[in-house]
């Protein structure tokens, strides 16, 4: 009996996933090291003392110049019912560790970074019915071998005892990487790019939406838009770090981009939270 050949994309995903598992196993057997610089750790922490010194939980005063609210407290993302919670500013050791998780085949770093996520969630006293990670397009997932947001969400759901919907959202388009785009390009890039797989599972539920980093907020807002349109009653975006530069788009700009993408929505069947965007 002839065996059917494995599709190239599936073969790539399996190969990347296998190498990611090898990386996880190798680092699990190694002595604990700093998530940012690999320095040996002598205390039960995730960052060495020099790297800890670079972590900044941004205060209101230090953000007045760029017009952003505090990093470590819930802040409006899209409208008054949608909040953004982050552990720290996207800089220093936290930024290095996140880039290693994302681009250097270090899925093992999801655990220490998830502890930062959990700390932020507990500090903000977050509660929800469901946890949903920001999805990758299948092509990007095949290239990377894992979805860093899904890894973070898995640890968070386990710690909080909350139901994880690992495939709650899907990404419809293989959009260019956000890191390479300007603010305006990011907004256009993700508007209308996400959909909910099973809307019935979201209806009348509260959701924690998980990602690694918030820069413009465009990706999180687009995902939130899809979740609310599917029937979720409230969404809180939770990230390890957020940018504190003027690259982050004001909520009004994000909302305008989403309205343009969803101009076809029937107002009768659109949640009130979306109509107020």
pLDDT in tens, 100-124: 999 999 999 999 999 999 999 998 8
Q: Does residue 110 contact residue 152 with C-beta atoms inside 8 Å?
A: yes
% pLDDT > 90, the chain: 49
Average pLDDT, the chain: 78
In this prediction, residue 83 carries a pLDDT of 81
Tell me the C-alpha distance between 25 and 238, whole Å.
Answer: 28
In this prediction, residue 9 carries a pLDDT of 55
User: How deeply is 229 buried, as exposed, middle or buried, from its count of CB atoms within 10 A (0-12, 13-18, 19+)?
Assistant: buried
In this prediction, residue 14 carries a pLDDT of 56
Instruction: Pick the range with the lowest mean pLDDT from 79-88, 165-174, 198-207.
Output: 79-88
The domain segmentation of the chain, as residue ranges, is 8-275
Tokens of 225: 């838009």
Buried residues in 140-160 as b, exposed as e (16+ CB within 10 A): ebbebbbbbbbbbbbbbbeeb
Instruction: Please state which of the four CATH numbers 3.40.50.300, 3.40.50.880, 3.50.50.60, 3.40.50.2020 is assigned to the domain occupying 8-275.
Output: 3.40.50.2020
pTM above 0.85, yes or no: no
Residue 229 has pLDDT above 60, yes or no: yes
């Amino acid at each position: 009996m002839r065996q059917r050949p494995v599709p190239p994309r599936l073969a790539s995903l399996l190969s990347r996933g296998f190498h990611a598992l090898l990386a996880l196993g190798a680092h699990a057997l190694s002595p604990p090291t700093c998530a940012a610089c690999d320095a040996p750790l002598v205390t039960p922490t995730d960052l060495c003392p020099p790297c800890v010194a670079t972590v900044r939980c941004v205060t209101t005063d230090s953000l007045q110049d760029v017009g952003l609210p505090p990093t470590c407290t819930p802040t409006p993302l899209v409208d008054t019912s949608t909040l953004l919670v982050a552990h720290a500013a996207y800089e220093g050791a936290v930024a290095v560790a996140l880039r290693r998780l994302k681009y250097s085949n270090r899925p093992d770093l999801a655990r220490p970074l998830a502890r930062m996520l959990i700390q932020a969630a507990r500090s903000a006293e977050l509660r929800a019915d469901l946890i949903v990670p920001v999805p990758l397009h299948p092509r990007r997932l095949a290239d990377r071998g894992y979805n860093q947001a899904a890894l973070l969400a898995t640890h968070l759901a386990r710690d909080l005892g909350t139901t994880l919907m690992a495939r709650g959202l899907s990404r419809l388009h293989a959009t260019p990487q956000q890191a390479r785009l300007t603010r305006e390009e990011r907004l256009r890039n993700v508007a209308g790019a996400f959909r909910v797989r099973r809307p019935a599972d979201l209806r009348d539920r509260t959701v924690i939406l998980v990602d690694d980093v918030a820069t413009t907020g465009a990706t999180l807002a687009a995902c939130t838009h899809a979740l609310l349109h599917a029937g979720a009653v409230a969404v809180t975006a939770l990230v390890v770090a957020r940018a504190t530069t003027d690259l982050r788009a004001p909520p009004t700009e994000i909302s305008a981009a989403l309205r343009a993408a969803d101009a076809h929505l029937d107002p009768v069947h659109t949640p009130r939270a979306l109509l107020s965007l």
